[in-house]
Amino acid sequence: MSLADQKTPNNKIIRTAAVPGSLYGLLKGQLHFLNQYYQIIGVASEGTVLKQVEEREGIHTKGIDIERSISPFKDLVSLYKLYRNFSKEKPVMVHSITPKAGLLSMVAAYFARVPVRAHTFTGLIFPTQTGFLKKLLLLFDKIICRFATNVYPEGNGVKNDLLKYKVTAKPLKVIANGNINGKDLNYFDPKRYSEYDKAETRQNLGIAAKDFVFIFIGRLVNDKGMNELVNAFCALVEKYPHMKLILVGSHDGETDVLPESTWKKLNAEKQIIWVGKQDDIRPYLASSNALVFPSYREGFPNVVLEAGAMGLPAIVTDINGSNEIIENGKNGVIIPSKDEDSLRKAMSNFVENEELVSQMAKHARKIIADRYEQSYVWKCILEEYQRITAAKK
C-alpha cells in the first residue's frame, strides 16, 4: 500500500498536549515523520508556538485551551471542546502526552467513540507528593488509564511505578528503549565543535582551559536538586579553585521556588556561571567536562540523553529514566536522591580522576547511539501505530 493510499480520512491521528511547547519540544520531527503515513493533527492550547508546530511539522493543528493546573470550570469547557473536535474529526486514534491533556483527551475520546485512545506517561507526579494532593493526582492517572485503550510508560521506571501503585491492570508497553522521541545524533554531535569553538565559548564565560566544568541543564527549582547542587559545589570550591559550574535554565513562572539562602549562595559564588535558558544548549555541553543532574523525579530526562550524545559522562540520582540511561561506572555515576554528601563526593571524584572521567566519556555517546537514536525510536512508534490501528479497522 502506498503512502497516498494509507493517508485517508480514516487514518487521522490526533496528538494532544496541554501546552503547544510540549508538541514543539518533545515531538520535534516525529509529527512530520508520522504525517507521511497518517493524517496527523496537533491539538494544544492556542498560541504562536502551536502555529510554529504546524509550520515546522507540516501538519494541521487545532487550538483548544487546556489549563495545566486544576481548574474545574475551565476543565469542563476544555473537555467539551475536545469532545466536539474528536466527534467532528473522527480520528482512528487520539494520543496524549501530558497529564492534564491525558485526563481530558482520554475521557473526551471515549465519549466521542474514538477507537484507539493512547496515553504516554512521560513521568509521574503523585509518587513525590503527600496527603490529599497525592490521592487526587493518583486518581487522575487512574482515570486516564480507565478511559485509554493503550498505555505507554516512557521508561521501565515509570512502568514499575504504575504497577507498584496499581494505577491500572491494563498491559503496559515501553516503546523502543524508552524516551518519547529519541535523539538526533547528527544534531547532538561533539564533532560539530572544534577545539577553537570550545575555547571561545569558555573564554566568553570566563572559564580557563584547565578548569573542570560541570554543567546542569533544567529548571532552577527544588525538585531538580538545586539546593543540594549549590551547597555541594560551594563546599568544594575552596579545595578545587579550578572547578566551575554552568547553570543553564530559568526559574521564571515556577511555583517550586528555591529558598532565599540558596539564591544567595548561587549569586555570591563567582565559580557558578548562570546563563539562563538557552535555545541551543550544545555549545555549553561541548565546553563542559561532565553533566550533574541531581533531580528528585523524572520520566525519561532528555538532558541526560543529550549530554551523553555530546560525549559527557553524568552524575545522576537514582530515579526513573536517569538510572536507565546511566550505567553506574560506565557512562556516569548514580547516587541516592536528595543526598548532598553523596553528590559532593561524586563531584570531588570526577575532579580528581581525569582518567575515570575520560573512560566514561568514551562510552557516553555510544550508549545513546545504541539505544536512543531518533530514527530507531520513530520506527518503533510507527510500527506500534500500524499494529494498533490495523486491529481497529
Residue 9 has pLDDT above 60, yes or no: no
Give me the pLDDT at residue 126, please: 86
Q: Does the structure show a pLDDT above 60 at 5?
A: no
Give the DSSP H or E segment for 356.
helix 354-372
User: Residues 237, 357: one domain?
Assistant: yes
pLDDT at 4 over 50: no
Pairing of strands 93-96, 60-63: unpaired
- Give yes or no: residues 361 and 381 share one domain: no
Residues 331 and 294 in one domain: yes
Same domain, 146 and 198: no
pLDDT tens, position by position, 141-170: 999 999 999 999 999 999 999 999 999 999
Residue 263 and residue 178 in one domain: no
High-pLDDT (> 90) share of the chain, %: 90
DSSP state of 165: T
- Structural domain boundaries, residue 282: 190-372
Where residue 131 falls (left for φ over 0; alpha for ψ -120 to 50; beta otherwise) is left
Task: Please give the tally of structural domains in the chain.
Answer: 2
Lowest mean pLDDT, pick from 118-127, 199-208, 228-237: 118-127
pLDDT per residue as tens digits for the range 54-96: 999 999 999 999 998 888 999 999 999 999 999 999 999 999 9
Q: pLDDT tens for residues 265-314?
A: 999 999 999 999 999 999 999 999 999 999 998 889 999 999 999 999 99
Is the same domain home to 381 and 364? no
* One domain, residues 140 and 281: no
Kindly state whether residues 15 and 160 are assigned to the same domain. Answer: yes
Examine the domain organization and report whether 339 and 383 are in the same domain.
Answer: no
Task: Examine the domain organization and report whether 265 and 320 are in the same domain.
Answer: yes
Contact yes or no for 184/351 (Cβ under 8 A): no
Whether residue 123 sits in one domain with residue 216? no
> What's the confidence (pLDDT) of residue 2?
41
Same domain as 163, residue 44: yes
Q: Is the pLDDT confidence value at 1 over 70? A: no
The CATH number of residue 150's host domain is 3.40.50.2000
At 252 the pLDDT is: 83
